[in-house]
């Protein structure tokens, strides 16, 4: 078969267009060392969770301060917050695309899906916890305690049946950047709420700045970070484990597992083995995710070029760590499985 001049030019143009078109296998940017050096083993117990050839992927950048990732397994997407812009964002696992889910909302921070698939969000301004119903409407769950406005709900966990436990440290009231500056009218606290309650029940006020929160694998352990140094420089940053009652309405046996004067701990999640994966700040060599064994021992880190605020496990096997880190969203496959 021979090609005439016209056919030859048409075929050449088609080949050129194909070469110029974006390819699933084409990657731009400066080549990096592979395998990556983001993994840091501190204790041999961490080795089983480290995948030496799993690349750290920067999924998206352009946020101001990213927080609160929550995984929706049915939709295969995660919701996270860009607090200063008062936006909820959506990361799609299948396409890798990030889009604005909701704009001009109350500077939402922590997000979670309950066991009925409804999204619940902690908002800074106005200070409240809200739930998005199946029909798309929004219901305010909690906004006051003892008739006074909440400080600025920060992070939460959901319990079977729709109840929630949330932290209220007040960061969204300290400046207009992440909410609205005002004086706090309540002690910083951890609260319980369930359907039918007009106001939440206060569980404890013993932490200075109760921040990130996570449930253990058995559902009877509640972990809370305390970012005390931000406003109490004489106090360390800590992670405390509480025993949670079967009905979720009371805490006991507070045990300080971790404390540090050189780094801070923010949002966190737990894997099936009871290890804590904790968003960490502290400068180069510490910024990223710290991983603590159930006994509180630091066993490893995932190092990032930015401070990490919060994390969750995503994907079909819940083995992919999603990290909301300052301006960017990162993922990393691990040898762990999230709850």
Residue-wise pLDDT tens digits, 44-59: 999 999 998 999 999 9
Which pTM value belongs to this model? 0.90
Hunting for tokens 């990732």 — which residue is that?
A: 69
Per-residue model confidence as pLDDT tens digits over 257-305: 999 999 999 999 999 999 999 999 999 999 999 999 999 999 999 999 9
* Strands of 42-147, DSSP E: 57-61, 66-72, 77-82, 87-92, 98-102, 108-113, 119-123, 128-132, 138-142, 144-145
Per-residue model confidence as pLDDT tens digits over 118-166: 999 999 999 999 999 999 899 999 999 999 999 999 999 999 999 999 9
Structural contact between residues 128 and 120, judged by C-beta atoms closer than 8 angstroms: no
Other Cβ atoms closer than 10 A to 338: 21
Structural contact between residues 327 and 61, judged by C-beta atoms closer than 8 angstroms: yes
Both structure tokens of 180? 């609205």
Question: E strand or H helix at 10, and its extent?
Answer: helix 5-20
Give CA–CA dist 263/239, Å, rounded: 12
Within a 13 Å sphere around the CA of 246, how many CA atoms are in the beta-carbon half? 0
318-to-60, 313, 335 alpha-carbon distances in Å: 20, 5, 10
Give CA–CA dist 31/18, Å, rounded: 24
Tally helices (H) and strands (E) across the chain. 1, 27
Residues 6 or more apart whose CB falls under 8 angstroms from that of 250 comprise 203, 244
In percent, how much of the chain has pLDDT > 70?
Answer: 91
The CATH H-level superfamily of 32-333 is: TolB, C-terminal domain (2.120.10.30)
What is the domain partition of the chain in residue ranges? Answer: 32-333
Both structure tokens of 171? 């960061």
pLDDT tops 50 at residue 2: no
The pLDDT-based confidence of 15 (bands split at 50, 70, 90) is very low
Per-residue model confidence as pLDDT tens digits over 212-270: 999 999 999 999 999 999 999 999 999 999 999 999 999 999 999 999 999 999 999 99
């Amino acid at each position: 078969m021979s090609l005439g001049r016209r056919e030859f030019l048409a075929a050449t143009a088609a080949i050129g267009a194909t070469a110029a078109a974006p390819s699933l296998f084409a990657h731009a940017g400066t080549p990096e060392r592979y395998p990556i050096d983001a993994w840091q083993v501190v204790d041999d117990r961490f080795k089983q969770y480290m995948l030496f050839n799993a690349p750290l992927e920067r999924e998206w950048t352009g946020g101001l301060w990213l927080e609160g990732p929550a995984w929706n397994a049915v939709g295969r997407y995660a919701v996270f917050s860009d607090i200063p812009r008062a936006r909820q964002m959506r990361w799609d696992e299948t396409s890798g695309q990030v889009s604005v889910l909701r704009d001009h909302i109350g500077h939402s921070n922590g997000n979670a899906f309950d066991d009925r698939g409804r999204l619940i969000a902690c908002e800074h301004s106005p200070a409240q916890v809200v739930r998005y119903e199946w029909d798309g409407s929004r219901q305010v769950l909690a906004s006051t305690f003892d008739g006074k406005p909440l400080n600025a709900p920060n992070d939460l966990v959901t319990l079977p049946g729709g109840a929630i436990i949330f932290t209220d440290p007040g960061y969204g009231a300290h400046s207009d950047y992440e909410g609205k500056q005002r004086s706090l009218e309540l002690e910083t606290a951890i609260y319980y709420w369930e359907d039918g309650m007009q106001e939440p029940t206060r569980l404890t006020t013993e932490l200075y700045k109760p921040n990130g929160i996570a449930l253990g694998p058995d559902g009877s352990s509640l972990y809370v970070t305390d970012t005390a140094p931000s406003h109490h420089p004489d106090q360390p940053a800590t992670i405390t484990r509480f025993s949670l009652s079967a009905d979720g309405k009371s805490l006991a046996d507070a045990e300080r597992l971790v404390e540090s004067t050189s780094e801070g701990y923010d949002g966190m999640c737990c894997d099936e083995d009871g290890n804590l994966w904790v968003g960490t700040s502290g400068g180069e060599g510490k910024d990223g995710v710290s991983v603590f064994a159930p006994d509180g021992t630091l066993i490893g880190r995932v190092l990032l070029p930015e401070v990490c605020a919060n994390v969750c496990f995503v994907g079909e096997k819940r083995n992919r760590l999603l990290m909301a880190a300052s301006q960017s969203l990162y993922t990393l496959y691990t040898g762990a499985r999230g709850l």
